[in-house]
Amino acid sequence: MPTVVLMDVSLSMTRPVSLDGIEEFQRKNLAVHGLNMLFEHMASNYRLEFTALMAFSSLWELLVPFTRDYNALQEALSNLEDYDKTCLELALQGVSSVVQQEWGNGCPCQVVLVTDGSLGIGKGSLRHSLQTLKHRGDDKKFPLPYPFPTKMFILCIANAEELQMTDAMENLEELLRLSGGDGQIFTVDGPLCMKSVQAMFGMLIDRAYSPFHAVLHCGNLSSDVQVFPRPEPVVVDEEVEPIPRAVSTDLEIVGFIEIADISSPPVISRHLVLPIAVNKEVDEVGTGATDELEEEPSASQMAGKSPNFCVLLHGSLKVEGMVALVQLGPEWFGMLYSQADSKKKSNLMMSLFEPGSDPLPWLGKISHLGPVSEAAENPYGEDDSKSPFPVQPQVKRSYAQNVTVWIKASGLQTDVQKILRNARKLPDKTQTFYKELNRLRKAALAFGFWELLKGVAELLERECTMLPDSAHPDAAFQLSHAAHQLKLASSGDSQYAAFDHNIVPMHTDFSS
């Protein structure tokens, strides 16, 4: 998960801070000190993170593009210059541009905003930006929320009392809400000094950049590993009282299965698994901070030249073309597999399934899987000509009822034309008309295709106005009634949009 550090270099950051009667420091100096502490931590414990450094005042500048070279980031911090007023909106637009150019819209990103809490003055200030949110055209939209998943952390080189003297805290909280709310605002606890700023950045590290260490077990073998990025807790929506479920630090391999049997399963996240012993030596043999393990790790990669189970597992999975099913917690599973980055290098990856005992329906319950050797006969056949998957359900499902499916536009067009043909033959085709109408209505509700209901209603109203003088009077009543019912269903009101509800013919003196 890449990180963008957005550093405020406006004039307000040059305000002096007196530290116990000794030489005066600027707020910018305290911010630089805290960021150096963060970069040193990431270089030691989060070295696979790509980080970019941006500075902003009334304009923004990309000082260091996404890199794993933390020396370059620290050097750029030491050469920061002072500029003019704060204009946060332009800086946020710059973050969006930099991230999308490098990673696109699908990669989650963390934004670390370091500022003194000053909102700026006049047009371009955060206060002005938030006040004009609802009065903007599509071409001048506020950059938040970003089109990519975002966590925003705002670090204020000020204490909470100072921010609450103005509306700064309220505006920053609104900014955090607009970003998606998945982040936090940090303030200095107590007077401004090196120690209090260090404590604030320490809280950020604990919240977002603490490494996830675990022990990978397989029978009597085990290995200390680091999982990167840190797995986030998962909330299961189906539970009555949803509780976040976290990945256990004890990862237990419960079995192995061929890649062809597991295919390409749906996963909620993917992570890199690094043996900690090897990880300590990566910088000495790689390009600085690499996330790749060689096909056959050299002796220099293995700390103390001792065997490592994780390296053995990685090589075995790659050679055998299999994946390892791993238990992440109670009724929660994932898989370990080898993923090639190039012809010569590959990674040991871990993908997390949805929590539950049977996350992959074609495998059945994970707890019901067992060794091939314990089966009465080889489920793959003597010559591997068959497969036990997909597992057949115990209860045979009935597919006798016709289900409306529109794969192509022509199928939908045919169903609409069938309704219109019957509409022109009312009242003789009343029952057939309402049968086809209800079939289309149910399908549209099932797909959430509200626009289709509105469109068919307008077609029926048009047919009503085009009825010839010789048409039966009941036809106009039925067409108007059907169009009205479709419009009510398209509103989404539960009273009229119930799936099991059917539109019945309108009772008229003509129909009786």
With a pLDDT cut of 70, the percent of the chain lying above it is 90
Rounded average pLDDT over 28-36: 95
Specify the 3-state DSSP secondary structure of 421: helix
Lowest-confidence region among 56-70, 99-113, 274-288: 274-288
Residue 188 has pLDDT above 70, yes or no: yes
Lowest-confidence region among 50-54, 100-104, 391-395, 405-409: 391-395
What pLDDT is recorded for position 389? 85
3-state helix, strand, coil in the chain (%, to 5): 40, 20, 40
What pLDDT is recorded for position 263? 83
Dist CA 28 CA 13 (whole Å):
5
What pLDDT is recorded for position 21? 59
- Position 279 confidence tier, pLDDT thresholds 50, 70, 90: very low
What pLDDT is recorded for position 350? 95
19 touches 25 (CB < 8 A): yes
Q: Quickly tell me which residue has 């955090």 as its tokens.
A: 176
Dist CA 60 CA 452 (whole Å):
46
- Position 343 confidence tier, pLDDT thresholds 50, 70, 90: low
Q: Which residues pair with 24 in a beta bridge?
A: 18
Angle at 337 between CA 333 and CA 343, to 5 degrees: 160
Angle at 51 between CA 85 and CA 83, to 5 degrees: 15
Residue 155 has pLDDT above 80, yes or no: yes
Count the Cβ atoms, other than its own, within 10 Å of residue 319. Answer: 10
What pLDDT is recorded for position 385? 76
Q: Which residues pair with 471 in a beta bridge?
A: none
Residue 395 has pLDDT above 80, yes or no: no
Highest-pLDDT range among 80-89, 339-348, 386-395, 501-510:
80-89
Q: Which has more confidence, 111 or 491?
A: 111
Structure tokens at 52: 């970019």
Q: 188-191 long-range CB contacts below 8 Å, 24 or more apart?
A: 188/156, 188/157, 188/158, 188/159, 189/159, 190/159, 191/159
Q: 402 to each of 2, 396, 407, how far by Cα in Å?
A: 48, 17, 15
- Position 283 confidence tier, pLDDT thresholds 50, 70, 90: very low
Residue 239 has pLDDT above 80, yes or no: no
Q: ω before 388 within 30° of 0 (cis)?
A: no
Give the model confidence (pLDDT) of 47-98 as tens digits: 888 999 999 999 999 999 999 999 999 999 999 998 989 999 999 999 999 9
Residue 290 has pLDDT above 50, yes or no: no
Dist CA 180 CA 442 (whole Å):
35
Give the model confidence (pLDDT) of 353-370 as tens digits: 999 888 998 898 998 898
Residue 511 dihedral angles phi and psi, to the nearest 5°: -70, -25
Dist CA 278 CA 223 (whole Å):
11
Angle of helix 473-490 relative to helix 430-447, nearest 10 degrees, comes to: 10
Specify the 3-state DSSP secondary structure of 198: helix
426 touches 472 (CB < 8 A): yes
What pLDDT is recorded for position 493? 72
What pLDDT is recorded for position 217? 95
Rounded average pLDDT over 248-264: 92
Q: Which residues pair with 269 in a beta bridge?
A: 352
DSSP 280: T
Lowest-confidence region among 20-24, 84-88, 285-289: 285-289
Dist CA 102 CA 2 (whole Å):
10
Give the model confidence (pLDDT) of 475-512 as tens digits: 888 899 999 888 888 877 767 778 778 888 888 776 54
What pLDDT is recorded for position 91? 94
Rounded average pLDDT over 129-134: 88
DSSP 318: H
What pLDDT is recorded for position 381? 80
282 touches 256 (CB < 8 A): no
Specify the 3-state DSSP secondary structure of 27: helix
The whole model's pTM is what?
A: 0.68
Count the Cβ atoms, other than its own, within 10 Å of residue 429. Answer: 16
Residue 297 has pLDDT above 80, yes or no: no
With a pLDDT cut of 90, the percent of the chain lying above it is 44
Residue 303 has pLDDT above 50, yes or no: no
Strands (E), 13-149: 16-18, 24-26, 51-56, 60-67, 109-115
Rounded average pLDDT over 425-432: 89
Taking alpha carbons only, the member of 98, 90, 110 closest to residue 205 is 110
Residue 14 dihedral angles phi and psi, to the nearest 5°: -90, 5
